[in-house]
Structure 1
């Protein structure tokens, strides 16, 4: 995922490196930390959330998409990209904030124009009907480079805005499912798989393995801010940071952390996960925020209002 309205974006080459244990019990109440539950028009699990020029959008099970308005969250559409109910698992926004791209089950790929209300269907790239878990887009609406990661272990990419016949694919690793993908530049970014591996690219086509040795947890989220500035969240409450030479792991407890968003200066951010867990990075120190939900959180985005989404259609805001 890529944040908007803020910034856009030694553990493992030396396996004997020390794991930092940074999780602190949440001592403040949810009211004191500022997180509140918002009313939403869906009970479907929400898997991703992004800021556009038209506010925050969230997508989820059954192909639902909802938008944050001055009057609360409102449904934009349901039924998915093609109206057949395919769930939407990942989303990202063009650099100008005008289109939100989304991907999901059975090869679903689409783009929604927040200015015109038009939903474009780009499903089944190269004929693939695999489940797609995440998407990253770079460039403006109508001219985007699109990168789609899914269960097949392949990255499907188009350098021509997802137009038919412009898609190709690459398998960066062993074929293990790809959990998350994020790009910090036009053709430069990172992707993580379920085989405890992080890959990087600087041309959008070829990928290099940069770790993480001996991680021993599944990877769920990635925030790619530069070639030498990458954050990964995973199982067992683990967060990893890459500085271009080494991975530094931090243990935040036992919750599976499904998503992570950190500012480019590595000073502030959030990671979220199971049981309504939110961990807050402030001045480069992680602490746990109390939240008013026990639902599993799937994604978080930073903005004028920070938003996390998850199971049961839950939305929490700060």
Structure 2
């Protein structure tokens, strides 16, 4: 299946062709819906995955970054930004796909140039060393606005490419952990916390609550494509669709859904026990998968990729 999301189209112009020429590696099993298990060089949890200007990259425990190459998935970074092996939880790319921003435990932040292999350590902004759960960046390589969400309820942001002395922070809610953040344009995006709140910004600094009332589940995944086009996934296989004026809830079963990615009525949400649900013409349909591991993140492109626990990786 070939599908380019907004993020793939805007940030990875030209990269999808390169990705399409990369063969799947060491297929161990394939489901009826076309998901294939692919061998990876890690056995720790793969927490996030993203397309870049070169190839897809994924991040894992122990500070590992792996890349999908012509010969399979390979480790391209070890130890994380600081070299201390901090677990890596979140990734995002600049609009041109040339920089992969990575974040993780103990204040780890790194800016990785996928075209040269150079890594710049941006860790511990203002000496802050909380666990950073997710990152969102807008703008081109070297000139990015950077937003980092932590497990203490703070959003750390820099409008000068994460340079030292340019970081500030905001606490949009009550101090509950922030699981995911995404900006769909410069200064505009959304963040979710573990206390049932979604916040929106249109200036990159002020975050206002927009729901979700009485949801009763923990939020894990976020897809922010516009002010009136937002999806949130969470516990009890819950999916919430924001239209700009109201949230539309839907329950897909009993799995925890850790990530969600949509575009123009298509996409995926993935979660515990090997759960993958596909959005087709506005309807969610469960896919069969050949794994039972918890699936943590999904990236869509010429090859759709899902990553999860124990180094598990699926391609379609």
Q: CA deviation at 1:233?
A: 0.5
Q: CA–CA distance in 2 between the matches of 1:6 and 1:130?
A: 33
Q: For residues 288 and 6 of structure 1, do their structure 2 counterparts lie closer, same or farther at Cα, with a shift above 3 Å needed?
A: farther
Return the offset for 1:4.
3.7
Q: Deviations over 1:162-204 (max 9, x none)?
A: 0000000000000100000000001100000000000000000
Deviation, 1:5, is: 2.9
| Residues 1:89 and 2:92 aligned together | no
Displacement of 1:69 after TM fit?
1.1
Q: What is the CA deviation profile of residues 98-118 of structure 1, one whole-angstrom value per residue up to 9, with x for unaligned ones?
A: 010010000000111001100
Q: Which residue of 2 aligns with 1:111?
A: 111
Q: How many angstroms apart in 2 are the aligned matches of 1:58 and 1:270? A: 17
SS at match of 1:106: helix
Alignment partner, residue 5 of structure 1: 8
Q: Of the two structures, which has the highest relative contact order with CA contacts closer than 8 Å and spacing of 6 or more?
A: 1
C-alpha deviation, 1:77, in angstroms: 1.3
Q: Does the 8 Å CA contact 2:104/2:131 hold for their aligned counterparts?
A: yes
What is the aligned partner in structure 2 of residue 220 from structure 1?
220
Q: 2: distance between equivalents of 1:5 and 1:152?
A: 30
2:134–2:149 Cα contact (<8 Å) kept: yes
Map 1:212-291 → 2, pairs under 5 A = 212-263=212-263, 265=264, 267-291=265-289
> Would the aligned equivalents of 1:35 and 1:292 in 2 still touch at CA under 8 Å?
yes
Shift of 1:30: 4.8
Question: Secondary structure, in 3 states, of the residue corresponding to 1:163?
Answer: coil
Give the ranges of 4+ consecutive aligned residues of structure 1 lying more than 2 Å apart after TM superposition: 2-9, 29-32
TM-score normalised to structure 1 length: 0.91
Aligned residues: 296
- Separation in structure 1 between the aligned mates of residue 245 and residue 81 of structure 2, nearest angstrom: 41
CA distance in 1, matches of 2:277, 2:151: 28
Q: Match for residue 49 of structure 1?
A: 49
**Equivalent in the alignment of 1:193:** 193
- Quick one: distance in 2 between partners of 1:219 and 1:103? 19
Gaps of 5+ in 1: 10-28
On the 8 A contact 1:3/1:301 being kept in 2, the answer is no
